[in-house]
A and B are shown apart, each in its own frame.
Chain A
C-alpha cells in the first residue's frame, strides 16, 4: 500500500532516527547537479517512469498528474543507495527543507520516498518547482 505525505509533514516522518544521513538522498548525480529533471535538446522534461504525464493536444502542452505509486526516487539512507547500487554522486535534500507548494512525498516502504505532484500541473510548473528543490540540495561529496 502506498502512502502520501503532504510537504508540511515530511520531516515529521523522516526524523533523525529514520533518515540518519541528514535528510533525503538521491543518487545518480554528478558534481554540479542532482539531475532531478532532464534537459533534452528542445525542452526540459521528466521521465515517464517517475511521473504520470498527459499531453493535451489542443494546448500543445504536457501536464503532470498525481499518481501515488510514482515519483522521483530518493532514499532514506546512503547505505540503501550503495546496496542497490546507484552509481554517481549522491545529493542531499537537507532535513527541514521546505518543498515547493504542490509537491508531495509518496512511499510504499519508508526507505524509498518518491517526490511527486499532489495536484495536476503543467510540465513547465513542475520543472520550475524541481529547480527550486535542486537549489535546496547539496552535494554530499559521496560517489558510488
Chain B
C-alpha cells in the first residue's frame, strides 16, 4: 500500500535534480510521483532508495568540504557552512521524514 509523506517541496526538488543528473533511474521514478510537497513510497525498499540519495550527498559533502570541523587544524568556515547546508537541509529532512514511517538505514 502506498504511503504519502508530507515532505518539503524544496528538498524534493533538490533530490529530483540530483537523481535526474545522476541517472538514478529508480529514484527518479519514485520522485516523479505525487504532489511537489509529498513523497509517495510503495515499500521500505523504495524508502531506502530515496534515503540513499541523501546519504550519497552527505558523503559527497564530506569529500568536498573535509575541513568543516572546527576542531580540525585546517578548519575552513566556508567548508563548515557548505557541509552543514547539506546536513541540516537535504540530509536531515530526508532521513528524519522517512525514518518516521519506514525502518531505513540512515547512517553513513
Residues of A within 8 A of B (CB): 2, 27-28, 30-31, 35, 47-50, 69-70, 73, 83-88, 108-109, 112, 143
Contact = CB atoms under 8 A, between A and B. Distances in A.
B87 A28 contact: yes
A73 B93 contact: yes
Contact of A88 (B9, B10, B87, B90): B87
B89 A35 contact: no
B43 interface: no
B108 interface: yes
Task: Identify whether the interface residues of B are mostly helix, strand, loop, or mixed.
Answer: helix
A84 B89 contact: no
Given A48-B8, A112-B100, A28 B80 contact: no
Interface of B: 6, 8-11, 37, 68-71, 80, 83-84, 87-90, 92-93, 95-96, 99-100, 106-108
A55 B69 CA distance: 34
21 contacts: A28-B92, A30-B70, A35-B84, A47-B89, A48-B8, A48-B9, A48-B10, A49-B11, A49-B89, A49-B90, A69-B37, A73-B88, A73-B93, A83-B106, A83-B107, A84-B106, A87-B68, A87-B69, A87-B83, A88-B87, A143-B71
A28 B37 CA distance: 24
B92 A84 contact: yes
Given A48-B10, A70-B8, A109-B100, A84 B95 contact: yes
B92 A86 contact: yes
Contacts of B95: 84
A28 B88 contact: yes
Given A47-B88, A49-B11, A69 B108 contact: no
B32 to A, nearest CB: 20
A126 to B, nearest CB: 17
Nearest to A81: B92
B107 A84 contact: yes
A73 B84 contact: no
B84 A84 contact: no
A108 B100 contact: yes
Nearest to A36: B88
B100 A73 contact: no
A35 B83 CA distance: 13
Contacts of A69: 6, 37
